[in-house]
Amino acid sequence: MVMKKRKFIPKNKYVNILCVIAIIVLVALVYVFGVYSVVRQDAVFNVSRGASVSAIASQLESRGLIDMPGLFKLAVRANGGSVQTGQYDIPRGASAWRIARMFARGNVAATTIVIPEGLTVIQIKEMLMQNPTLTGAVECGHGTDLPVCNLHDGDLFPDTYRVARGTSRLAFLDLMRKKMVQVQENWNRAGRIAPKPLKNWNEIITLASIVQKETPRADEMPIVASVYLNRLNDGMRLQADPTVVYALTRGRGDMQGKPLLRGHLKIDSPYNTYTNYGLPPAPIANVGMDAIRAVLQPADTNYLYFVADGRGGHRFARTYEEHMKNHADWRMIKNLKNKN
C-alpha cells in the first residue's frame, strides 16, 4: 500500500492567515465602535443624576441613538466605566464609542450667559427665569439657609459666564456671588485703601453702584466717581437720580419708561440722596470692575456737578453757575431732539 504524502504548509503561512483574521476583526471592531452610527440628526440627551449605565443604554436605544446597548456598555467600560450627569449635544453620525466617551469625560453642552452691569438682583433673577438653557427656580425652598438664598444688590458680579446647559438658576446665582466674594478678597489681600471718606467695602460698592447707573462709559466713570467723592468730602448731598429711582421702584431700579419727576425727589427713603446726606445704606445695583476701579482710583478733579451732554456722555462743572449753564444747554438739546 502506497502512503499518500501529506501536503506541507509552511508555518509562516499560518501566521499570515492569523494576522489577516486579526486585522479583519480589528477593522470590524473599529467600524462597529467608532464609525457605525444610527444617529440620523443632532439630538439632545440628558444623563440624570444616579442613572445606571444600563438605564442610559436603554434610553439611548429607545431614542434611536444606539441599536446595540451591549456595545455601548462595553464602550463605557473601556472609557472608565462611569458617566457624568448633564445635558449632552449628540451630533448626527456619532458612534456608540463617541457617545460613551462624551458621557465619561463629561463633555456636557455649554451655554454662554451675559449678565450686563448695573442690573439689580430683581432684574437678574427675571433675566435668568427667561433663559431656557437653565433649570429650576431663582428662589430657595422653605427652610433653606444658604448664602445664595439671601442676596442683596452688590452681592453679584456681572460678567460673561460659560456654564453647562441645564445648570440650575440658583447655582448660577451662587457662581456670580462667589465671583464677587473673590473680587473683595483680592482687594483685601492687596491691602488697598479706600479713598476718603469711604471706610469699607460696602461703601466702595455702594458708590460704585451709583457710578455704574450714572454712566455706561468706562472712560467717564473715574470722573463721575470724583464728583461724588468731592461732594461727600465737602459735606454736600449726593443728589443722585438713580438712588431715587431705586427707592421709587422698591429695589427694581427701572422706571420702565416712566419719567423721573421733580416731585419724586422728595420720596421718604434712606436711599433718597436728595433728602439725606452721605451714601445710601447699601448698593443700588450690581457692578462690574470698571465702576469698582473708578471708585478706588478716581480722577483728580474739583468737579462738583455734571449733566448729560446729549451725546451719551456728561458735561462737568466746578461751580453751580457753570452747572446751570450746562443744564440749560442740555435742555436746549433735549427740546431739539423732541421736536425732531
How far, in whole angstroms, is CA 154 from its chain's centroid?
15
3-state secondary structure of 314: strand
Quick one: what percent of the chain has pLDDT higher than 70? Answer: 88
Residue 193: predicted pLDDT = 86
Helix, strand, coil shares, percent, the chain, to 5: 45, 10, 45
Q: What is the pLDDT of residues 74-121, one digit of tens each?
A: 889 989 988 998 899 999 999 988 999 999 999 999 999 999 999 999
What are 270-275's contacts with CB under 8 Å, separation 24+? 271/243, 271/244, 271/246, 271/247, 272/243, 272/244, 272/247, 273/237, 273/238, 273/239, 273/240, 273/243, 273/244, 274/237, 274/239, 274/244, 275/237
Tell me the C-alpha distance between 228 and 233, whole Å: 9
Q: Where are the domains of the chain?
A: 32-105, 110-190, 201-339
Asked if 156 and 124 touch (Cβ cutoff 8 Å), the reply is: yes
Res. 316 pLDDT band, cuts 50 70 90: very high
The burial class, CB within 10 Å (0-12 / 13-18 / 19+), for 28 is: exposed
Report pLDDT digits (tens) over 149-182.
Answer: 999 999 999 999 999 998 999 999 999 999 999 9
pTM confidence score:
0.81
**pLDDT confidence of residue 145:** 82
Beta carbons of 307 and 327 less than 8 angstroms apart? yes
List the grid coordinates of 35: 464609525
| Cβ 67 vs Cβ 38: under 8 Å | yes
Rounded CA separation 257/60 (Å) = 50
Cα 149 → chain centroid: 18
pLDDT digits (tens, 9 = 90+) for 211-261: 999 999 999 999 999 999 999 999 999 999 999 999 999 999 999 889 999
Nearest to 177 by CA among 149, 204, 142: 149
Give the DSSP H/E element, type plus range, for residue 102: helix 96-105
pLDDT of the residue at 2: 53
Per-residue pLDDT tens over the stretch 3-49: 555 555 555 666 666 666 666 555 555 545 555 788 999 999 999 88
- Calculate the CA 239 to chain-centre distance: 32
Dist. CA 99–CA 33, nearest whole Å: 10
The CATH homologous superfamily of the domain defined by 32-105: Endolytic murein transglycosylase (3.30.1490.480)
In sign, the C-alpha dihedral spanning 171, 172, 176, 182 is positive
The 3-class SS string of 56-70 reads HHHHHHHCCCCCCHH
The C-alpha atoms of residue 48 and residue 83 are separated, in whole angstroms, by: 10
Residue type, 293: R
State mean pLDDT over 325-332. 81
Share of the chain above pLDDT 90, in %: 69
- Find, among 167, 161, 164, the residue nearest to 179 by Cα: 161
- CA angle (240 as vertex; 271, 298 as ends), nearest 5: 110
Residue type, 174: D
Query: Is residue 315 within 8 Å of 239, Cβ to Cβ?
Result: no
Is residue 102 within 8 Å of 39, Cβ to Cβ? no
